[in-house]
Each structure stands twice: as C-alpha cells, then as structure tokens.
Amino acid sequence: MQLKFLAVLVSSAVCSSLALAAVPNVSEATKASAEAINSDPVMQKIKKELETPEAQKWRFNTHMEVVRIASPSRSELRRQEELMRRFVQEWGIDEKNVMSRVGGNLPGAGLQKVDGLPVYNACVRIPGTYSQTAGAQTYAGQGPKVLLEGHIDTVNPPVLPPKDKPYMPIKLQKADSPLVKTPQELAAIPDELHFDKNGKIIEDENYQKAYKRYASLDDAIVKGGYRLYVPGYNDAMINTAAVMQIAQILTKYKVKPVYDLWVCGTAGEEGKGNLAGMKQLYGYSQDTGKGNNALNFVANISADSTRPGSGAVNYLGSYRFEIKYIEPKGVKAGAQQPSALMAMNRAVAAIADLKTPYDLDKKAERTTYTVGVGECTKAPEGGRSEECTLMVDMRSPTPEPLLAIRSKIEPKFQEAMDAENAKFGLKKGDPKAVKMELVWFGDRPAHRRTNYDDPVVQIHWQAADTVGIDQRKALAEGASSLNDNVPAAVGVPTININVGTPAAGGGGHTWYEWGIPGDGKAEGNRVYRMILMGLMAAGYNTADGKVVKPLLDPMGKRTTEEVYK
C-alpha cells in the first residue's frame, strides 16, 4: 500500500488542506498484463463491438426484459430460470458450461442452502486452459476460477407474485414531470413498455420514447426524454444485464482465459437475501463465520454501483435481526391482555428514538440503523393479530461502532415484551403473556482492507488507465455493504465497480425506483473494462498463441477446510 498526500484545493488559492488518500502501487507485471491483453486483436474487436448501437441496444433490451420479472430476495427462481434459458438458447453458451442448476443447486460448491432455502444463482463458465498445463494445481479437484457477478434479486416487490402475474410494469413518464407520489399515481400512468408472449420487448412507439440515451437528467429534460419506473432498474439489473453481456460476448468470440472465468447473476444480495448467492459460491457458513471456498475462486469482481468510477474496496458490516412477538391464540379485540402488536411497536418506537454517534456528529463513523419491516398476522374477525414480526438492520464500517449500536438495539426487543406484559401485571412465562423469539439473524462481516496493493485493486486501477475510462486520483475508502463482504471475509481479493450507466435515477429500494438510459458508448467501455479485469486476474490466451499469465496464484484463500451442506 502506498499512501500519498494529495493536495486538495479547497477554495481558490487562498486555502488548501491535505487529504490522506490511498493510491495503489501497480506492478510492472500488472501493467504488462493489461497491455498484452488489451492489444490483442480479438479483444479490440470485442471493445469495438461493445460500443456499437447494436450492443448498447442488447444491454437495454436485456435489462428491460429481465428486470420486469419480479425477483424478491430468496425467490429469484423466475429471473434465474429466464437467464439460464437465455444462456443456452440465445447466447450460444454450451450447456456443459452452465454451472448452476434450476432449483438452486450449484455442483461443487461447499455449501448449498442458506437459511434452509435454495439459492437461485445463475452461473456460466468461460472455460480456461489451465487444467491442460503440466503441474496444474487444484484445490480438492477444483481448478482456479475468477468470478464476475451482478445480483439478480430486487427489493420490490417484497413477495413473489402469483405465477400468472410474474411481471412488473415498466412505466414511462416525461423526465420533466414531478416524481409520482403514490403507487396509485404510478399505476395510473398510461404509457408503459410492451412485450410479446415470449418476453421480448416490442419496439413500438413507447419503446422509441423509452430507448433514448442521455448524458444527464437535465439533458433528458431538455430533449423531452422519459423516466422509466421499475423496481430493480438501477439496483442492480442495469449492472447485471451488462455483466450478462460479458458471458454472451466472450462466448461469441471464443475467448480463452487461462483460469476459468465464471459469470454469475447472484441471488440474495438484498435484505433477507443474507448474501445467500455469495455464501453458496464461497461456501461461507454463517454459523461458523468461515468459508471453505470449495470452488477455488482466486479473485472476485462485482458490479453493483451506478456511480461511474466507483470502486468499493471496504465493506460495511451489518447485523440484522428478525424478532417475532407471539400472544396466545383467540384473544378478542379490546381484551385487557398483553398484545403482540403492542410489544412489537414498543420495540420499534424505542429503537426509532436511538441516536448513533453519526446522528450526533457527521464526522463520526457512519453508523446507521433502520426497522425495515414491521408486520402482523391477519386478525380473525373480532380478534387480534396473534404474531407480529420486526426486522431491523444496523451497519457500520468497523466492528466497534457496529457492536455499540447492536448493544443499544438488542435489549429493546426484550424490554418491549417485558413492558407490555408488565402493563397487565404479568411476567414472561405466564400463559397470558406475550412471548418473543429470534426468527433470523443476519451477519455481513465487516472488512477493511489493510493492503491497497493487492492484485485485484491493482487490476482495477490499471484497467481504468488502459481502457481510458473512470480513472481516479485516489481510491474511495468509504465502506459499503455488498456481495463482496463474503469473498473479503474468506480472504479472496474483491472489488465492486460500476458498469451499467444510467443518465439519472432514484428511488432505490422503493416501489418508485426509476432510471433513464445513459451514455451507451461509455457503458460499453465499462463492460470491456470488467472483461479486461477478469482476464488480467485469470490470464489470457492471445490470438497468436501467447499466454498472458494470471496475476493471481492458483490456490484461492479460505478460512476453513470444512465442507457445509
């Protein structure tokens, strides 16, 4: 790691301050790898093709066709199945290179189910040549692999809709109109994108309105552009569609990496998804806090940002609790007896009044919390809700403040139950008392890099220079909670970047999520940059028969040898 003091001009020449910023040292081997791969004629053809209007349209159409498939975390089966179908039937990928299975199994992974549920990853392999080399190393029979991924779950709708209504509408609204304020207003917008019976977008009048690319929201407003509303537009299907194009185009050009390159649409990044997709891929057990990396990934590159130039290198830790309050069955409305609903709401109200150090001083480490869900069972006629459940999320970049907020929140669960029981002179355990149970505990391990010179950071840095897109003066050291938390926790170097390029967007994690298509040529270059990053990590066989060596050793990191179910 090299820390450079960068002089930052604060205001004109009058005053300046010094900011400490990390800039990776890039090795000569990394520079040479980027140069050799990028100058290969096949790679240059790929770069050019990704910039073309046809490739831009491929990304947009794929994005729209897939994002409308409702895909709540842990119920991604329909989006997964559609991607799996496209791999083989549309994108020319040989069935033997489709690594995941409809239904959620991933052969070779060191863990199959997460929180007792199947994991709907959609993964393909671009096979490498490493296994054919003399002395090739494997881990328990698994050759080295590099993972490129984007997630396929979306916060809304929170529950999988019925089979006969699998799609979310994609509504169009002039960009200069104010945002809709209610779901009813959104539903009342007449213009929407249309799709045929095979799920393909129809290029009608509305398509012409929707598919125009702009530099910014202002540009879209001036030029009469449209805003596209659909949950998952930015988070994360604009990125994931671009990642899928990597699988399609590397297959088309018969690219031969050295190590296998895996391209995945991953399940369970959001909310109760609990990073299920990554936990399966890296064999990470929440019970032990360790990962076996049975598939032997040596590097990880994720795309889940819509900010050009972003590269998340540190990962916010989070704890999540799902707590259920239960009252005896059959209590009538108005009865003078402890209530599950009141117990839950006492807990929520107490949590809602907490202030983190960051709430009090924005210079403190960004520590946040939210009760994301409060939900009670439907009451019978004249009765009460018998069970109420809250879900709370808390986050911080480092363990100490995270533990501090947890130590404030966790006692509130029981205090609320005790207060509700005490109101009626009861104690825990009385037959009429409200009970409490922990339904689910989520753990995203925090990780702060100690070395900004690891191969993946170097690759990220050099690839930007080589492609000439999204170069930065320094790494952004802020932390985010991402799929990368899992590989980072098992020691596999990882980075999370931006690929999909909206002109503007908003409403992330809400029913009114929206976006406007952005610079398609720059987006093509970002896809190419992600390909270059993957091939620098995995190694590359050039068109004239030379081998550009992988920048990572063939044995992936792991924190346990234990294999999980």
Partner 1 sequence: MKKLLLIGLFGLCSVANAAVFEVEMTGPGGHSNGNYGNVNAVHAGARAILALEKALPCASAYNFKGGATVNAIAGDTRFLVNTGVCKEDAAALQEKITAAVKQGADEENAFRSVKAGDLVKGFPAEIRFSVKQVGK
**Residues of this chain that bind partner 1 (CB under 8 A):** 72-73, 155-158, 178-179, 181-182, 235, 270-272, 316, 318, 320, 322, 333-334, 339, 341-342, 344-349, 351-353, 366, 368-376, 378-379, 382-385, 388, 390-393, 395, 442, 480-481, 506-512
Could you give the CA distance from residue 493 to residue 487 in angstroms, rounded to a whole number? 7
C-alpha neighbours within 13 Å on the C-beta side of residue 485: 29
- Asked whether 337 and 424 are in contact (CB, 8 A), the reply is yes
Minimum separation from the CB atom of position 73 to partner 1 (A):
7
CA neighbor of 489 nearest in space, from 392, 558, 429: 558
Rounded Cα distance, 173 and 221, in Å: 11
Q: Which is nearer to partner 1, 6 or 349 (CB)?
A: 349
Least distance between partner 1 and beta carbon 339 (Å): 7
For partner 1, the closer CB: 1 or 335: 335
In whole angstroms, the minimum distance from the beta carbon of 114 to partner 1 comes to: 15
Record the tokens describing residue 498, joined without a space.
């931006």
What are the phi and psi torsion angles at 150 (to 5°)?
Answer: -140, 150
DSSP character string of 399-418: HHHHHHHHHHHHHHHHHHHH
- Residue 353's identity, in one-letter code, is D
DSSP class of residue 233 equals I
Helical H segments across 124-225, by residue range: 183-188, 205-210, 217-222
Instruction: For residue 228, give the amino acid letter.
Output: L
Q: Residues near 468 by Cβ (< 8 Å), separated by ≥ 6?
A: 525
To partner 1, the closest distance from the beta carbon of 401 in angstroms equals: 13
Q: How many whole angstroms from its chain centre is CA 142?
A: 26
230 vs 344 by CB, closer to partner 1: 344
Shortest distance, CB of residue 378 to partner 1, whole angstroms? 6
Q: Give 254 or 378: the residue with its C-beta nearer to partner 1.
A: 378
Nearer to partner 1, 267 or 316 (CB): 316
Q: In this complex, which beta carbon is closest to partner 1, that of residue 158 or of residue 534?
A: 158
* Residue 235 CB, nearest approach to partner 1 (Å): 8
Q: Give the shortest CB-65-to-partner 1 separation in angstroms.
A: 23
Q: How many Cβ atoms from other residues are within 10 Å of residue 98's Cβ?
A: 18
443, 280 contact by CB (below 8 A):
no
| 3-class secondary-structure state, position 368 | strand
Name the minimum Å distance from CB 281 to partner 1.
Answer: 20
Closest approach of partner 1 to the CB of residue 436, in Å: 16
- Closer residue to partner 1 (CB): 87 or 315: 315
Shortest separation between residue 413's beta carbon and partner 1, angstroms: 13
199 or 374: CB nearest partner 1: 374
Name the minimum Å distance from CB 23 to partner 1: 26
Distance of closest approach, residue 184 Cβ to partner 1, in angstroms: 11
Encoded amino acid at 168, one letter = M
Q: Which two tokens stand for residue 438?
A: 């922990």
Which ranges constitute the DSSP H helices of 283-436?
Answer: 340-352, 357-360, 399-423
Please give the structure tokens belonging to residue 488.
């980072």
Taking the least distance from each CB to partner 1, the nearer of 137 and 182 is: 182
Instruction: Please give the biggest Cα pair distance in the chain.
Output: 83
Q: Which is nearer to partner 1, 166 or 374 (CB)?
A: 374
**Strand ranges, E, within 273-316:** 284-285, 290-291, 297-305, 311-312, 314-315
Nearer to partner 1, 49 or 322 (CB): 322
332 DSSP β-pair partners: 383
Give the strands of the sheet with 502-506, arranged side by side.
171-174, 226-229, 514-517, 502-506
DSSP 181: -
By C-beta, is 32 or 371 nearer to partner 1?
Answer: 371
